[in-house]
Amino acid sequence: MSEKTIKNLVETRKRVVVDVNQGHLSVNAGAHILGMTRQGFWKLRRKVNEFGLDAVCGRKRGPKAYQRPHNRCSKWIEETVERIFNLYGVGPDRMVWLLEDCGIIVSRATVYRILVRRRLVVPKCKEARRPVHLYTKGYPGEEVQIDTTEPLGKSGPTLITAVDDFSRWGMADCYFGNRSDQAAEFLRRMVMQAPFPIHTVRTDNGSEFKKYFTTTCQELGIAIIRNPVRHPTSNGKVERLHRTIEEECFWRVGAKPDDLDYARYWLSRYLGWYNTRRRHGGYGMGGRTPQQRIEDYIINNKSYL
């Protein structure tokens, strides 16, 4: 619509309202000329009588630039959101739970808007996703996914990570090299430290999960499931835990490739929080921690022990 057309429409509105106010036109006729209902025309007349003829142009809805929205969170809540984000580095879903622990009840959308407004996160374009098949195992230890990665680069230590498919209980360690004897030693420690018996492990076809690792599994009576070649989604939960550790642990504490003790120290602290305090929003978790998920299963299934 051109600027000239808009001006003509505005002038027509003014002329019709004036004619109706002066008695030259009826309300029904004025509403018919402007293409609106009788009730809509009465609202337009009231606005003109209150604000003058400029009211026929309409006004932009919503808060003005000089006004604070009436439903905006208090400043101290926004500061609390920023402080928790800087402390834990988690997303809006988990921040809602952390804020609940502080006695602050806000929605996920509110948390996200605060993070965007304070430029702590960058909005991403929404992309259509293919439907995924969500699943979880039936009891703790039924299947533990294990994988390795190099979060600090090729020159840094190898991160070996394990996660229980049912409860999301995570275990991990760092070491230089990536040999099967190291993976076997990690498996032995994992069996001793896990709060549940391990029946099956799922790995990829890497050399670190052959030879000594396979022998150790046989000695411990643990079955091995090998993923199809080049199919990382078969180990989706442990792949996601890799990224979580990188973002919420190593990146935040500034881990260096040549400082193994520093990385191990913060990794052990993070896993303690991850398993007992950090709530999970994954399929079947319902906002519980891994420890709570295991405890709930034991309480409801006395025969498990």
Which CATH number characterizes residue 255's domain?
3.30.420.10
**Domain assignment of residue 219, yes or no:** yes
**Quick one: 92 and 159 in the same domain?**
no
Q: Report CA-CA distances (Å) from 73 to 69, 82, 128, 138.
A: 9, 13, 31, 42
> What are the pLDDT digits (tens) for 17-38?
888 888 888 888 888 888 888 8
pLDDT of residue 184: 95
Q: What is the pLDDT of residue 217?
A: 94
Instruction: Work out the average pLDDT over 1-26.
Output: 78
Q: Is the pLDDT of residue 127 over 80?
A: no
Who has greater pLDDT, 65 or 37? 37
Q: Is the pLDDT of residue 57 over 80?
A: no
Q: If you average pLDDT over residues 143-147, what whole number do you get?
A: 95
Place 131 in a pLDDT band, splitting at 50, 70 and 90. Answer: confident
136 in any annotated domain: no
In a domain, 137, yes or no: no
Average pLDDT over residues 259-269: 94
Residues 81 and 173 reside in one and the same domain: no
Separation of alpha carbons 74 and 92, rounded Å: 18
Predicted confidence at residue 70, as pLDDT, reads 67
The verdict on residue 134 lying in a domain is no
pLDDT reported for residue 124: 77
* Domain enclosing residue 120, as ranges: 63-124
Is the pLDDT at 58 greater than 70? The verdict is: no
Closest alpha carbon to 152 in 264, 63, 49, 76: 264
Residue 180: its pLDDT value, please?
A: 93
Same domain, 275 and 163: yes
Residue 135 inside a domain? The answer is no
Q: Looking at the predicted structure, is the pLDDT value of residue 55 above 80?
A: no
| Residue ending a domain, choose from 12, 37, 57 | 57
Q: Are residues 153 and 275 in the same domain?
A: yes
Q: Are residues 162 and 183 in the same domain?
A: yes
Q: Domain for residue 237, yes or no? A: yes
In a domain, 131, yes or no: no
> What average pLDDT does the segment 122-136 reach?
76
List C-alpha distances in Å: 179 to 30, 206, 259. Answer: 86, 10, 20
- Tally the domains of the chain: 3
Residues linked to residue 170 through DSSP beta bridges, in sequence order: 163
**Higher pLDDT, residue 57 or 90:** 90
Alpha carbons 285 and 243: distance in angstroms, whole number: 19
Say whether both 52 and 164 belong to one domain: no
Tokens of residue 104, six digits? 């602050």
Q: 184 and 45, same structural domain?
A: no
- The residue among 59 and 153 whose pLDDT is bigger is 153
133 inside domain: no
Closest CA to 166 of 127, 197, 132, 121: 197
Q: Can you give the pLDDT at residue 87?
A: 87
Q: Give the Cα separation of 37 and 17 in Å (integer).
A: 14
